[in-house]
């Protein structure tokens, strides 16, 4: 398998000490050589104009930039059709320090509930009950526990869950996430030892807030597993709930499916029966949910960014990656994932430190990508390959608000739908990220409003050592 080998030119621009250099090289996601964010998409180019546009609330310029970042980050190298961010380290790697794997010999006969998944991480950052939504329960399939015993981890309180892999994280449901970091963000975390609680404790005592490098880019991306043969159903968001809906609004409840038939047995545009959601339980975990079965229109794979998983990819995944993908495919399609099956992009968050208040944008796939406010100001990007226009985009930049005026809703229905109510906002939540965790929770009682226009200077955040909008730091520090 290809191991990452950093070329001299990349190393010289990294300016690392010997010690941290070896840390970075050995913790890379080894899919191929690191590919930086490409030229030609305006990334980090005219940040003064971007700051001005943000200060003025100029949606056109902001959204054109946001669309370009999305199209740019999905480009691939000549050698591979993976998007370039797959060569970036993920948050699990960035915070790795020790091996916390656990064998489960004594537990093979009982169902195990997943615990520290991305879903639970997010939930643990909320302390007020109203914001908490009751999501379905996904038990780890027995065959996954048996086949990938080394992929079972325990969390801080000893519950077992699927470990995060070197490529994929465990979301705790069907979606297959990564949280990738640009090398500058990775280096900052490793060099400043932000992956250690002791560093954060010391910084808290001194009142030194985290300040990430200017070229930091952090993402959260979601794949959906698609079988090469037969029909795979994918739920699509149709504004199913009003903004004031406070209960669980995840994809399991959307009731609109589209179908993919990569083997061509069903024609694009035809209506077929499609099913998904197998062996998933209710919130209490004691009752199976119904399999969702509806009529669905067949769409083409080409309308998605997708990757056909090769034998080489499979060999390169670690056990946790395989356990995550297998679980996802069993729950989505009632079939295991095999070489030759596809991963299709359904949603992605992209945050960049081009501005000190960060740029935040998020996209999700839509079967009506040219309708509504999330389709506006798509620029012309002839150099961009792939169906980036088949997605809708929300931008959440620090645009001005009048005193007391609230932020607009800023959510990705796939990603936030499974963790919190519809009316939340990236910025409001991410600005709260900080240390110690006992003070920094999403629903901090001192600033309870999930749509308030909070900034790092907001009085209710003054006692918290903010971690520069990054939740992965307080969540994952060891």
Binding site for ligand HEC (CB under 6 A): 91, 118, 121-122, 125, 179, 218-220, 349, 351, 360, 362, 394, 396, 410-412, 416, 420, 424, 426, 429-430, 442, 470-472, 475-476
Contact (CB, 8 A) for 185 and 138: no
Residue 30 or 474 having the CB closest to ligand HEC: 474
Residue 341 or 416 having the CB closest to ligand HEC: 416
Residue 76 or 171 having the CB closest to ligand HEC: 171
Nearest distance, CB of residue 131 and ligand HEC, angstroms? 7
Nearest distance, CB of residue 243 and ligand HEC, angstroms? 14
Half-sphere exposure of residue 169: CA atoms within 13 angstroms, side-chain side: 26
Nearest distance, CB of residue 431 and ligand HEC, angstroms? 10
Cα–Cα distance for residue pair 306/344, rounded to 1 Å: 4
Q: Which CB contacts under 8 angstroms, 24+ apart, belong to 263-269?
A: 263/228, 263/229, 263/230, 265/229, 265/230, 266/231, 266/298, 267/298, 268/298, 268/299, 268/300, 269/297, 269/298
Cα–Cα distance for residue pair 252/477, rounded to 1 Å: 31
Residue 227 or 420 having the CB closest to ligand HEC: 420
Nearest distance, CB of residue 81 and ligand HEC, angstroms? 23
Chain residue at closest Cβ approach to ligand HEC: 426
Q: Which of 219, 173, 180 is nearest to 324 (CA)?
A: 173
Residue 277 or 472 having the CB closest to ligand HEC: 472
> Cα-atom radius of gyration of the chain, to the nearest Å?
21
Residue 220 or 331 having the CB closest to ligand HEC: 220
Nearest distance, CB of residue 432 and ligand HEC, angstroms? 8
Nearest distance, CB of residue 260 and ligand HEC, angstroms? 25
**What per-residue string of b and e applies to 163-179 under the rule 16 or more CB within 10 Å gives b?**
bbbbbbbbbbbbbbbbb
Q: What are 393's two structure tokens? A: 């985009």
């Amino acid at each position: 398998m290809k191991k990452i080998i950093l070329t001299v030119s990349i190393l010289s621009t990294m300016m690392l000490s010997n010690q941290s250099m070896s840390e970075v090289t050995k913790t890379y996601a080894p899919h191929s050589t690191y590919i930086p964010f490409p030229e030609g998409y305006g990334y980090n180019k005219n940040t003064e104009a971007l700051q001005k546009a943000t200060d003025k609330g100029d949606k056109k310029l902001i959204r054109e930039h946001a669309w370009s970042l999305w199209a740019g980050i999905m480009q691939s190298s000549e050698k591979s059709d993976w998007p370039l961010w797959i060569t970036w380290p993920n948050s699990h790697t960035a915070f790795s320090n020790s091996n916390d794997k656990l064998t489960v010999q004594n537990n093979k006969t009982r169902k195990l509930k997943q615990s520290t998944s991305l879903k639970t991480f997010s939930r643990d950052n909320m302390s007020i009950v109203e914001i908490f939504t009751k999501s379905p329960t996904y038990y780890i399939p027995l065959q996954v526990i048996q086949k990938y015993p080394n992929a079972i981890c325990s969390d801080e309180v000893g519950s077992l869950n699927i470990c995060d892999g070197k490529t994929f994280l465990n979301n705790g449901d069907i979606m297959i996430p990564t949280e990738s970091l640009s090398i500058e963000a990775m280096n900052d975390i490793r060099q400043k030892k932000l992956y250690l609680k002791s560093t954060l404790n010391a910084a808290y005592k001194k009142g030194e807030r985290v300040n990430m490098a200017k070229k930091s880019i952090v993402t959260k991306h979601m794949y959906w597993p698609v079988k090469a043969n037969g029909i795979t159903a994918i739920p699509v968001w149709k504004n199913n709930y009003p903004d004031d809906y406070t209960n669980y609004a995840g994809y399991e409840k959307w009731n609109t499916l589209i179908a993919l038939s990569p083997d061509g047995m069903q024609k694009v545009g035809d209506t077929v029966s499609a099913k998904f959601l197998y062996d998933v339980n209710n919130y209490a975990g004691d009752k199976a949910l119904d399999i969702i079965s509806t009529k669905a229109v067949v769409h083409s794979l080409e309308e998605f960014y997708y990757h056909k998983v090769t034998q080489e990819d499979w060999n390169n995944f670690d056990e946790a990656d395989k356990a995550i993908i297998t679980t996802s495919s069993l729950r989505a399609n009632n079939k295991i994932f095999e070489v030759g099956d596809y991963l299709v992009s359904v949603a992605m968050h992209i945050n960049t430190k081009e501005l000190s208040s960060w740029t935040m944008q998020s996209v999700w796939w839509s079967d009506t990508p040219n309708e509504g406010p999330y389709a506006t100001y798509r620029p012309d990007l002839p150099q961009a390959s792939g169906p980036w226009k088949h997605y809708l985009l929300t931008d959440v930049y620090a645009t001005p608000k009048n005193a007391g005026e609230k932020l607009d809703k800023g959510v990705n229905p796939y990603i936030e739908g499974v963790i919190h109510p519809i009316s939340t906002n990236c910025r409001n939540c991410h600005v709260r990220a900080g240390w110690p965790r006992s003070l920094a929770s999403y629903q901090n009682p001192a600033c309870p409003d999930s749509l308030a226009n909070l900034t790092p200077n907001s009085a209710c955040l003054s006692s918290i050592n903010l971690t520069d909008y990054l939740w992965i730091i307080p969540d994952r520090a060891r």
